[in-house]
Amino acid sequence: MSVILKTEKLRVEFANREFLKSVKVALSSLDLEVNAGEVFGFLGPNGAGKTTAINVLLGFVPPKSGAAYLFGIDVRQPIARQRIGYLPEMTYYYKFLTAEELLRFYAKIFGVPRKEADKRIDQLLKLVELEQVRKRPIKTYSKGMQQRVGLAQALINKPDLLILDEPTSGLDPLGRMKVREIIQRLKNEGKTVFFSSHELGEVETVCDRVAIIHQGELKTVGRVTDIIEKHHGNLEKAFLDIVGYQPQTAS
């Protein structure tokens, strides 16, 4: 199975605002591999380094040391992002554009020919149920609608790898169901999905493998079933065990 996403001893540091501490280590020697065609969950508590890792993969943040590759290309090259789709946690897009204009803009950047782009835009707007409002500016959209626009723009180039940062955050149950369906459909098409989430129930349902990260360190990686079996419970219990959560007993 080919490796789509790979990190090698990835280390990311930020300047620390605390007194007498020069740097804050956001990621410490992260080694990760995601194979083609799998749905990979990236879990961890808040501040664990999930978004930082995704930012490195997308070229937003340069690593202090180590490397990251997408399709075998160093993530610092813009061409590495030609075959990926990215849905950020907070979906903000150009408010003065309509959904259709936004998708056309991104299609142009991907080099999608005009006719093909028109076809895809129609399909995607239908998929995310925004066909009726395609000509309205995005500033008139609700949060859920903006999230769906985000999903559409992440799929405009028919990506081989989809990177989703908390894709169901802020969505109602119907919206979450829709996202799960889309992930499942992509998996059936042989696409690779890499997403971070706090919704462990969802992760347990859709993911083939997961990685759990805590305080910048990779704690475990493996098949969901294997991890659950190892910790004799569900994924939530396994997660809590791995991050070292100690319940406070009532005095």
Partner 1 sequence: MKNIFAVAGIVIKELYRRKDFYVLFILTILICLIMASVNVFNDNQIIRYLKELCLLLIWVSSLVIAITTTARQIPAEKENRTLLPLLAKPLSRTQLIFGKFLGCWLACGLVLICFYVFLGALAASREHSWPLLNYFQAAFLHWFTLGTVVALTLLGSLVFAAPSSNSTICFVIVATILCIGRYLDAVALSLSEPFRSIIYAIYFTIPHLEIPFEMRNLIIHDWPLIGWNFVALDAIYLSAYTMVFLVAACLVFRRKAVN
Q: Which one, 113 or 201, has the nearer CB to partner 1?
A: 113
At closest approach, how far in Å is the CB of 240 from partner 1?
29
The first and second tokens of residue 30, run together, are: 């992260």
Q: List helix spans (H) across 19-72.
A: 50-57
User: Which residues contact residue 176 at a Cβ distance below 8 angstroms, ignoring those fewer than 6 apart?
Assistant: 168, 199, 202
CA distance 115 to 103: 13
Q: Which one, 97 or 240, has the nearer CB to partner 1?
A: 97
Q: Which one, 61 or 203, has the nearer CB to partner 1?
A: 61
Number of residues that bind partner 1 (CB under 8 A): 32
User: Which residues contact residue 171 at a Cβ distance below 8 angstroms, ignoring those fewer than 6 apart?
Assistant: 144, 147, 178, 179
Among 44, 63, 150, 167, indicate the residue that binds partner 1 (CB under 8 A).
Answer: 150
At closest approach, how far in Å is the CB of 26 from partner 1?
11
CB 34 within 8 A of CB 69: no
Write the interaction track for partner 1 spanning residues 75-114; mark x where CB under 8 A is met and - where it is not: ---xxxxx-x-x-x-xxxxxxxx---x---xx-xxxx---
3: contact with partner 1 by CB under 8 A? no
**Pairing state between β 84-87 and 161-165:** parallel
Q: Which one, 7 or 55, has the nearer CB to partner 1?
A: 55
At closest approach, how far in Å is the CB of 97 from partner 1?
7
Write the interaction track for partner 1 spanning residues 38-67; mark x where CB under 8 A is met and - where it is not: -------------x---x--xxxx------
The first and second tokens of residue 37, run together, are: 């065609």
* Angle subtended by helix axes 143-155 and 173-188, to nearest 10: 10
- In the chain, the amino acid numbered 99 is A
Radius of gyration of the chain (CA): 19
Write the interaction track for partner 1 spanning residues 6-45; mark x where CB under 8 A is met and - where it is not: ----------------------------------------
Token pair 């007194």 is found at: 19
CA distance 58 to 54: 6
At closest approach, how far in Å is the CB of 186 from partner 1?
17
Binding site for partner 1 (CB under 8 A): 51, 55, 58-61, 78-82, 84, 86, 88, 90-97, 101, 105-106, 108-111, 150, 153, 163
